[in-house]
Chain A
């Protein structure tokens, strides 16, 4: 280094006593103390980190617990165990009846005036039909579920009926299994649904009975001589006639179901 530079350095060093104002020192030192003693939840960086982490956790939970498509469109999950049990019972009872009775096929007990084709049914099939009805409509086995039936539930009932109509052609289980032990509110809902689709229900309130079997809900209009059955198929009432005596024999005792 040259001598020239030395004297410039010395000269500059003489003015190096300049310092920040005391007020500025106080502001900075106070800020430093406040920042060091600030609780973690008032630290903006900590809060930002926590908020980001919470967002990720929330997003992961939403993805993890989001219902899949099947559960959105399928039946309510409460019904599943009962349906499974009823189906199992139906299978057992049908197999048992077939083994014990070995009943030969007999002519159909009903005369079908609607698109449904007459079909043969065995004792085993009739029993199976009865049990399948329990399985398909768990409201009979679990009244508390039926009480909670909503509009979506009624829509499901209609869909189930439509499926049963398709199934009818193949299985022809007949009109032998009736169930009338439903709560009145459920029957009112069903009647309302049927009349909404097929128009005013046949018969009068006194002569009309709402029944169901493996094919779905239907109306029985009873007179002195006959019982006439009406099914709501393709948005119109279809008539199925039966003699009184035979129908009476086929009505199951409600006590059996309880």
Chain B
């Protein structure tokens, strides 16, 4: 990032390649596709235009996901002003998930399970969902997640625990 800020255009591509997947899934697991694309693009354009704001004192991933968290919060606020849900994720009731026995032959079982998991993730409360996704996509420690999301370690631990319990409970009916 420092090299890119100095004007080395080629330095951006490996940086982008390294983080694009995790960042995209961070948004995609919480928003629908169009919104995720919009937030993803907004985030990277901010990084490009404000390249000199990055301080090498902190790991780039912290900077990146802190910005991502801010973009997501801005999106929620904007959506709330327009009359949307507080948590824009589709509020999926685990009980309404498709039964894996409905059509087991037409869909690969693992893909279906993954789809169910994604829907369950989106049904989680916003803060629990974000903490759990940061842990999965970045392997951040509890302290790092607390730093990125602006909360306490205890709060992060609590969110992670609740999220895991709900996901386990929701997936229990699909996994033997």
Contact = CB atoms under 8 A, between A and B. Distances in A.
Interface in A31-62: 31-33, 35-37
Contact of B37 (A12, A18, A21): A21
Contacts of A28: 16, 41, 44-45, 48
B164 interface: yes
Given A20-B37, A27-B41, A15 B20 contact: no
B70 to A, nearest CB: 18
B162 to A, nearest CB: 13
Given A11-B171, A35-B49, A35-B51, A24 B9 contact: no
B142 to A, nearest CB: 13
Nearest to B28: A18
A19 interface: yes
Contact of A15 (B8, B12, B48, B114): B114
A8 B164 contact: yes
Contacts of B48: 28, 31-32, 35
Given A8-B117, A8-B167, A32-B9, A19 B21 contact: yes
Contacts, number: 79
Interface string A1-21: 000110111011111101111
B36 to A, nearest CB: 8
**Interface bracket on B:** 20 to 34
Contacts of B101: none
**Interface majority SS (helix, strand, loop, mixed), chain B:** helix
Contact of A11 (B4, B13, B16, B117): B117
Contact of A18 (B9, B24, B45): B24
Given A4-B168, A15-B118, A18-B24, A24 B16 contact: no
A27 B115 CA distance: 28
A29 interface: yes
Interface string A181-196: 0000000000000000
Max chain B C-beta neighbours (<10 A), residue from A7, A9, A11, A13: A11
Nearest to A18: B25
Contact of B7 (A8, A14, A27, A36): A36
A9 B114 contact: no
Given A29-B13, A35-B51, A36-B12, A20 B40 contact: yes
Max chain B C-beta neighbours (<10 A), residue from A27, A32, A33: A32
B24 A19 contact: yes
A29 B48 CA distance: 10
Listed from nearest, the 8 A-B pairs whose CB atoms lie closest are A36-B9, A15-B114, A32-B12, A20-B24, A28-B44, A35-B48, A33-B9, A32-B48
Given A12-B117, A20-B20, 4 more contacts: A5-B168, A8-B164, A28-B16, A36-B4
29 contacts: A5-B168, A8-B117, A8-B171, A11-B114, A11-B171, A12-B114, A12-B121, A14-B110, A16-B25, A16-B137, A18-B21, A18-B25, A19-B20, A19-B21, A20-B20, A20-B24, A20-B37, A24-B37, A24-B41, A25-B16, A27-B41, A28-B41, A28-B45, A32-B13, A35-B49, A35-B51, A36-B9, A36-B12, A37-B9
